[in-house]
């Protein structure tokens, strides 16, 4: 389709929204954003399923799951069309929040994977999918199945390169496979308020995004916060572990904005 943009019209699974967190660049707090927003939505009473589609399994580890003890992995859903989704769902210990865990064995999927869609028999309000930091076959499958997409970026010049690659990939998929994913917003993360350079780059980034993509930038910026790193081994996202932390407050604000954007996009 000519003129494809990051905001193509989407669809929903009976009202359920499947939100992919994707960026070709790594180290942009993609997993941190996914798990914290999933927890924030669950705290608001929404039924949420977090799906870890990254072979690094960082989202799985973020909820304290033992990779060796997880029997039903995400890769089974991708490799075996008869494998039921319910067998892969694991409780996180957090009310209203379940997870489909991942493991390094997902790497084998990139060799044989074909486009599939899992059938959801249990109703969730939101499915939050953590993608791998590459535009591989696994990520393509996620983009084909997702209704919406959030793109975390740093306030760095190279961030636009990853966004451009992502836009090109979605455009190519639209031409070949007819996806319905649309972008909810671009989320600036790991912003260093102590340096003037980050402020200058953020303004340039904001202007460039508005000029080339439109009004996609989330108003809330996720600042650099050592508390996020300190909670990585705690089995709980920062929004649950330390609600007084600046990053926790920021993610709570993003969660509210995310819900507003979803409502407008319905």
Contact of 78 with 145, CB cutoff 8 Å:
no
Q: Digits of tens for pLDDT over the chain (266 positions)? A: 233 344 444 555 778 899 999 887 778 889 999 999 999 999 999 999 999 999 889 999 999 888 877 755 666 777 777 777 778 889 999 999 999 998 887 777 765 555 455 545 568 999 999 998 887 888 888 888 889 999 888 877 676 666 677 677 777 766 766 667 888 888 989 887 777 777 887 888 788 778 877 788 899 999 887 777 766 667 789 999 889 999 999 999 999 999 999 998 77
pLDDT of 85-101, one tens digit each? 778 889 999 999 999 99
- CA distance linking residue 171 with residue 165, whole number of Å: 10
Q: Name the region of 183 (left: φ>0; alpha: ψ -120 to 50; beta: rest).
A: beta
0.75 exceeded by pTM: yes
> Domains in the chain, ordered, with CATH?
17-265 (3.40.50.300)
Q: What is the pLDDT of residue 225?
A: 77
- CA distance linking residue 8 with residue 6, whole number of Å: 6
- CA distance linking residue 165 with residue 45, whole number of Å: 35
Residue 62: phi and psi, rounded to 5, are -60, -25
């Amino acid at each position: 389709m000519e003129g494809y943009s990051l905001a193509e019209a989407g669809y929903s699974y009976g009202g359920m929204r499947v939100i992919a967190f994707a960026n070709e660049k790594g180290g942009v707090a993609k997993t941190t954003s996914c798990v914290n927003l999933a927890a924030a939505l669950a705290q608001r009473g929404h039924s949420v399923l977090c799906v870890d589609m990254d072979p690094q399994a960082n989202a799985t580890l973020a909820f304290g799951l033992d990779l060796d003890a997880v029997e039903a992995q995400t890769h089974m859903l991708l490799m075996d069309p008869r494998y039921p989704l319910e067998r892969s769902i694991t409780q996180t210990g957090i009310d209203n929040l379940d997870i489909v865990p991942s493991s390094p064995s997902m790497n084998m999927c990139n060799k044989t994977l074909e486009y599939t869609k899992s059938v959801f028999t249990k109703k969730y309000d939101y499915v939050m999918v953590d993608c791998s930091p590459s535009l591989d076959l696994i990520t393509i499958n996620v983009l084909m199945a997702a209704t919406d997409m959030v793109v975390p970026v740093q306030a760095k010049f190279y961030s636009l390169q990853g966004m451009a690659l992502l836009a090109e990939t979605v455009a190519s998929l639209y031409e070949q496979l007819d996806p319905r994913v649309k972008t909810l917003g671009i989320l600036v993360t790991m912003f260093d308020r102590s340096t003037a350079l980050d402020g200058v780059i953020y303004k340039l980034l904001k202007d460039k995004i508005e000029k080339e993509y439109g009004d996609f930038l989330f108003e809330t910026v996720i600042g650099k916060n050592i508390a996020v790193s300190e909670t990585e081994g705690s089995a709980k996202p920062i929004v649950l572990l330390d609600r007084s932390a600046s990053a926790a407050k920021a993610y709570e604000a993003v969660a509210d904005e995310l819900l507003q954007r979803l409502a407008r996009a319905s």
